[in-house]
Structure 1
């Protein structure tokens, strides 16, 4: 993309935390863990409306998943993919806006982000019981179907069409970010001013923590087991999204094949990066950028992030070097041994 340990500073790891449901009071948060959108999600919500807000959050996530999941045959995405090369599909405002945003990022990243990657994703099957190493012939064949320029947007009629038969859209690189932003809207609409949410690696820190301080968020160490962090940052009202090759992968003949595919090659991205973390106001931006910068590599990724106002990044390379953009240099604290903090570039 991507266990909450009760330690002094409420450290929140960018991994899957473990929450317990607690009673709702003005002081104690409502804590909830659930499995949706193919991942474990966790919520820690403060306030007298926390219980009601939590229920509404789960309903909103379920609604988005029912529209955008390629694994649900009745979803809008599945219907759109089934009509590829034939006709367009009228979409809800949710699905249309996410596809439109994906196309915008495809243009911005030179195709590093490409929602039409689904034929490649399905071919490899990473993260499923059908994962395998395809032949180069198979990959080259499917790669012909990958081209975001074949996504035809009709904003006036909220319709999207894929130009060629067998093309398919997968919004896995951006949908959770959009969902996190929608969760934030639900919470604010229910007068929740303090919460921390984790949608399987997409973290959003809303307001201050229970002590009135910034949330202290831990960044997963990409070379260690879940729960061991690379360093920490302190944030308020920010999205933190991490992508890495440690999330979903398989190993064959000593080679690790992960789930972040390069749309230009059809293979897992093989640049120098092993982890990218994006800090932004909107999670949809963080989601799109964490994936695309991982594919683009260190130099291009840093250049892109530094060109976007209000977006910061933490990049980790194969040789254990950590690079941060200027806005995080006084915030990020490297705590894991064996890594080198590169302050200049």
Structure 2
């Protein structure tokens, strides 16, 4: 919305430091941490590219090179300055546009769980689209049973099930919102560093200690690909990931080291060919 705090901040890009709410500061601080760890594969400054690719999907045509270059020039996590002491943010370049779509739902689910805990509700599940945050297990259960989406989409049987408590899980996939041009399938997920949409099919599920982290990491891993993405997850304390992707008509998967320690029950109706050798980045 034009009246939102985020949009008011964007309108002041290119100017001086701006006082922002504690909630927005915490989201941006988490986003910048993931952006640095992923070398920009996750970047909330990618709003100009988001707008360009949404328009491309509506029109059914790829963005032109000049438009991509102009949008890309306004993107970069190094264009954001956070002042921890003053609780301010400065957007260094004019006409910047922040897009929190890859992290805000996870943060909102975290806040909902925190509110329920303050109200004395110690066992709950909060779902925000592809992001789920849970507290203690339901009475008489070992945890919350959460389905892991299959590569083919939410209308297909889950790839398997996780049993979780006091954790978060997020899935980033491209089964929907695609643009097909010249026989090439372009995902709604794009690489902020190049401006180009992903052309391979993948589904990334990340488990972490909170939804803010799992949400941001799921997007980052989608962009980075299985090899680099799993390396990022393994370097993130308390995080685990499962990546499924299409390769020459087959579905392959890769798991992080901590994923193998989770209570993951693969669905008998969904099987993948698992390869333990290093996989090629997308």
Match of 1:203 in 2: 132
> Alignment RMSD, CA only?
2.1
Question: Which structure 2 residue ranges, 5 or more long, are not aligned?
Answer: none
Matches of 2:210 and 2:148, distance apart in 1: 18
Q: Does 1:334 align with 2:266?
A: yes
Match of 1:279 in 2: 207
1:181-233, Cα deviation, whole Å (9 max, x unpaired): 11110111111122222100101222113432322211111214525211112
TM-score normalised by length of structure 2: 0.89
Between stretches 222-231 and 144-153, larger displacement belongs to 222-231
8 Å Cα contact 1:217/1:235 also seen in 2: yes
1:132-153, Cα deviation, whole Å (9 max, x unpaired): 5211221112111111111122
Aligned pairs for 1:212-227 within 5 A = 212-227=141-156
Helix, strand or coil at the partner of 2:133: strand
Find 2:96's aligned residue among 149, 167, 176.
167
Matches of 2:55 and 2:188, distance apart in 1: 6
Seen in structure 2, the aligned counterparts of structure 1 residues 280 and 344 have a Cα distance that, compared at 3 Å, is: farther
Aligned pairs for 1:74-93 within 5 A = 74-93=3-22
Matches of 1:239 and 1:343, distance apart in 2: 26
Matches of 1:205 and 1:133, distance apart in 2: 39
Matches of 2:92 and 2:36, distance apart in 1: 18
Aligned pairs for 1:1-345 within 5 A = 72-125=1-54, 132-270=61-199, 274-319=202-247, 320-330=251-261, 331-335=263-267, 336-342=269-275
TM-score normalised by length of structure 1: 0.74
Matches of 1:129 and 1:280, distance apart in 2: 34
Match of 1:18 in 2: none
Matches of 2:60 and 2:11, distance apart in 1: 23
Between stretches 144-153 and 333-342, larger displacement belongs to 333-342
Helix, strand or coil at the partner of 1:279: strand
Q: Count residues in correspondence.
A: 273
Matches of 2:108 and 2:61, distance apart in 1: 30
Question: Which structure 1 residue ranges, 5 or more long, are not aligned?
Answer: 1-71
8 Å Cα contact 1:323/1:343 also seen in 2: yes
8 Å Cα contact 1:124/1:132 also seen in 2: no
8 Å Cα contact 1:126/1:259 also seen in 2: no
- How far apart are residue 343 of structure 1 and its match? 5.6
8 Å Cα contact 2:2/2:8 also seen in 1: yes
Seen in structure 2, the aligned counterparts of structure 1 residues 290 and 77 have a Cα distance that, compared at 3 Å, is: same
1:60-111, Cα deviation, whole Å (9 max, x unpaired): xxxxxxxxxxxx1111110111111133321000001111211111111111
Q: Structure 1 runs of 4+ off > 4 angstroms? A: 126-132
